[in-house]
A = this chain, B = another copy of it.
Amino acid sequence: MSGGPREGRALFQEVKRLATTRRPTLKDVAQAAGVSTTTASVVLTNRREGVRVPDATRHRVQQAAEDLGYRPNILARSLRTQTTRTIGFVSDEVTTTPFAVGMLAAAQDEAARHGYLLFVVNLGPNAPLALQEQAIDQLAQHQVGHFIYGCMYHRVVDPPAGLPADAVFLNCEASGGRHRSIVPDERQGAYEVVKELIEAGHRRIAFLDDHRHPPASRLRFNGFRAALAEHGLEYEPALHLETTPFVRGGLVLSDLIDLPDERRPSAVFCYNDRIAMGAYRAARARGLRVPEDLSIVGFDDQEFIASELDPPLTTVRLPHREMGRLAIQLVLDEPGALDDVPESEDGVIRIAGELVRRDSVAEPRGAWGQRTPSS
């Protein structure tokens, strides 16, 4: 029980470990400390309830563990406890594309905060259901207990079989309504950014839309109309153009610029920032200055685009980081995770985006003459 021989023994063990290059196990620690593995386990996992280990013994075990450089084998622990602290993050192409990369980063941060590790599997665009299920099966064989299914952009997906009921869909809505989903509040974002235009005095506002991407496009349209309606403005189908969600898609703005003065819009709401980038180009090609001659707003607050346009673009920031963090909190059943978000009726949790005011909005030319009495 004296320190001398024990130290000698620990040293011997250490030498032996280095010689055999075997990582020390709990048994080694127990032996070095002169206790049973039971005691060593109890001490090193810091269990207190129902077990009595005097401080002297505790310290002896801890010292031995440190001396030997003991690291627990999580595999063995997980096998025994039948739980793993891992989360499977499967996605279409979140990690492939720079769009929603903040979701993964925030999820990783939050997982680390809880001591969890993330298995990330990126299936690529349009992976067949069978491939998706195979990936989930592989994760299940690794005994991962929690699943997040992330999408690059907001859409509806068919949940692959094998996904447990408490899986969380991130940036997409699971069809069937049996799973929780976290998506941006598209409607609210569109409402706010369009309201920003209206409050600047605009009355004729175009919408460069991409209706091939429901539900985002439908919801942004709803927000657009809601803002219009709330301010007594009429929705004008002629100003609602369908286009593609790329820079070149914004070039269709030319058609609207060609309109006669009284029918021409003084502001444009673009489905996303890339379309807005194209709209800038179209405006400039016609000699229109942004925002003096034409106000333009976008959606997404896409990195390297929105803030780098000239002038910087007023847009709506997608709450990707908040969404990623919440997804982890939900799968881990963190209490209070939903305190900050509004109640959802349909199991779909909508996170508000944030209006980012930059320099692409100004009063319309002749605004003072156009102002309604109420403003």
Contact = CB atoms under 8 A, between A and B. Distances in A.
Nearest to A84: B75
Instruction: Determine which residue in A73, A281, A305 has the highest number of CB atoms from chain B within 10 A of its CB, and name it.
Output: A73
Given A112-B121, A117-B121, A141 B102 contact: no
Given A95-B95, A101-B97, A303-B98, A122 B109 contact: yes
A153 interface: no
A118 B108 CA distance: 13
* Interface range for A: 35 or more
Nearest to A97: B101
A119 interface: yes
B101 A71 contact: no
Instruction: Determine which residue in A86, A139, A141 has the highest number of CB atoms from chain B within 10 A of its CB, and name it.
Output: A141
A108 B120 contact: yes
Contacts of A138: 117
Nearest to A303: B98
Contacts of A74: 141-143
A143 B117 CA distance: 13
Interface string A46-90: 000000000000000000000000011111101100001010010
B79 A105 contact: no
Nearest to A305: B304
Given A98-B303, A112-B121, A122-B105, A274 B308 contact: yes
B117 A71 contact: no
A219 interface: no
Contact of A101 (B72, B98, B140, B304): B98
Contacts of A117: 119, 121, 138-139, 142
Given A119-B118, A120-B108, A274 B304 contact: yes
30 contacts: A71-B137, A71-B140, A71-B141, A72-B141, A73-B141, A74-B143, A75-B75, A75-B79, A75-B84, A75-B143, A95-B95, A95-B101, A95-B104, A96-B102, A96-B105, A97-B101, A97-B303, A98-B98, A98-B303, A98-B304, A101-B101, A104-B120, A105-B122, A117-B119, A119-B120, A120-B120, A274-B304, A277-B308, A302-B304, A304-B305
The 5 closest A-B pairs by CB, nearest first: A98-B98, A96-B105, A120-B120, A108-B122, A247-B308
Interface of A: 71-76, 78-79, 84, 86, 89, 93, 95-99, 101-102, 104-105, 108-109, 112, 117-122, 124, 135, 137-143, 247, 274, 277, 281, 302-305, 308, 310
Given A98-B98, A98-B303, A109-B122, 4 more contacts: A89-B120, A96-B102, A104-B120, A302-B304
